[in-house]
Amino acid sequence: MSALVISALDQAAPARRLADKLGAPFAELEIHRFPDGESLVRASQASATTIIYDSLDRPNGKLIELMLAASALRDLGAARLVLVAPYLCYMRQDKAFEPGQAISQRVIGRLLAERFDRIVSISPHLHRVSSLDTVFPGAETTSLSAAPLLAKLIQADGDPADVLIVGPDSESRPSAEAVARELSAPFVVLSKVRESDRNVSSKLDEKWLAPGRAAYIVDDVASTGNTIAAAASVLKAAGASRIEAAVAHALLSGKDLRRLRAAGVERLRSTDSVLHPTNAIESAPLLAGALRGEIE
Ligand code: R5P
């Protein structure tokens, strides 16, 4: 029997696109939200292998509903549960930075690993913990790179030899390097100092930027957009002719987007891993490539 692709929450459109790519049946989970804030989750069908699609932006409520969905699907006979979470939450707190802090990545990682046989994601924010296998002990994991998708967007704009790919901080180096490699374009990584969630400054250490060159800032995630805004200010001062940004996951608000434009970023584009006004490329083909084995 083929796998079912199920949209757990409010992302039926990308989940359906994935089901279409896989030629797999699609069924939406039903969610009822009680007046007191609790959720009731109902699954109508499951197959031996069942895929739940649930991108985990705005994660706190979604995680509870995901736990309930996993339980309902197990009860209906799903022996193998695959979680497709194009955006994975709680990745940044991978250690206690100050005494007493919860290591959220470890807590949420175990919670999901206990319920899912396999977890598939796109460009997860891995830093000090470098592998999803460590985040999700005992589960199979697949970490897909968004670099080919972002490179495709930039390539469509013209000759990539004329652009500079910019990683806004050391953590973005793998993403920036991978996109630059795909395009055979030069890249540079800025140094960033983060003073708080919203207060960020950047520095261009190398005298790299040829004046008149278009700069594309590439990162895995834009949360508030402040990292990209700080990078844009530096690039503007260094003489970039045009500044754009491309990220795997866009989480920022409309107000943050406007601030980004005011900082000189002409355009921010993202994959549809998180539904957002900046979505410019579908992730279904990438995800389908990794999931084909589940339905054969
Ligand atoms: C950080 O290390 C990440 O790669 C991103 O640069 C960061 O999370 C973006 O956050 P924000 O958009 O809030 O600056």
Q: Which amino acid appears at position 209 of this protein?
A: L
d(CA 115, CA 118): 9
First to last CA, the chain: 9
Cβ–ligand 1 distance for 224 under 6 Å, the answer yes
Cβ–ligand 1 distance for 200 under 6 Å, the answer yes
Ligand 1 atom nearest residue 194's Cα: 14
Q: Which pLDDT value is given to residue 159?
A: 76
Q: What is the pLDDT of residues 32-64, one digit of tens each?
A: 999 999 999 999 999 999 999 999 999 999 999
The H helix count followed by the E strand count for the chain is 9, 16
Residues 225, 243 contacting (CB under 8 angstroms): no
Q: Which pLDDT value is given to residue 207?
A: 63
CA 129 from chain centre, in angstroms, equals 17
Q: Which pLDDT value is given to residue 161?
A: 74
Identical fold at 4-144+282-294 and 147-272?
A: yes
Domain 4-144+282-294, second-level architecture: 3-Layer(aba) Sandwich (3.40)
Q: What is the pLDDT of residues 13-30, one digit of tens each?
A: 999 999 999 999 999 999
Q: Which pLDDT value is given to residue 208?
A: 62
Task: Quote the strand ranges of the chain, DSSP E.
Answer: 4-7, 26-28, 30-33, 39-42, 49-53, 80-84, 118-122, 140-144, 163-167, 187-189, 191-194, 200-203, 214-222, 242-250, 267-271, 279-281
Map out the domains of the chain as residue ranges: 4-144+282-294, 147-272
Q: Which pLDDT value is given to residue 11?
A: 85
Q: What is the dotted CATH code of the domain comprising 147-272?
A: 3.40.50.2020
pLDDT at 2 over 70: no
Q: Which pLDDT value is given to residue 52?
A: 95
Cβ–ligand 1 distance for 66 under 6 Å, the answer no
Q: What is the pLDDT of residues 116-171, one digit of tens each?
A: 999 999 999 998 999 999 999 999 999 999 999 999 999 998 877 789 999 999 88
CA 102 from chain centre, in angstroms, equals 22
What is the band of 237 on the pLDDT scale with cuts at 50, 70, 90?
confident
Q: Cα(100) to centroid of ligand 1, in Å?
A: 23
Q: pTM higher than 0.75 for the full model?
A: yes
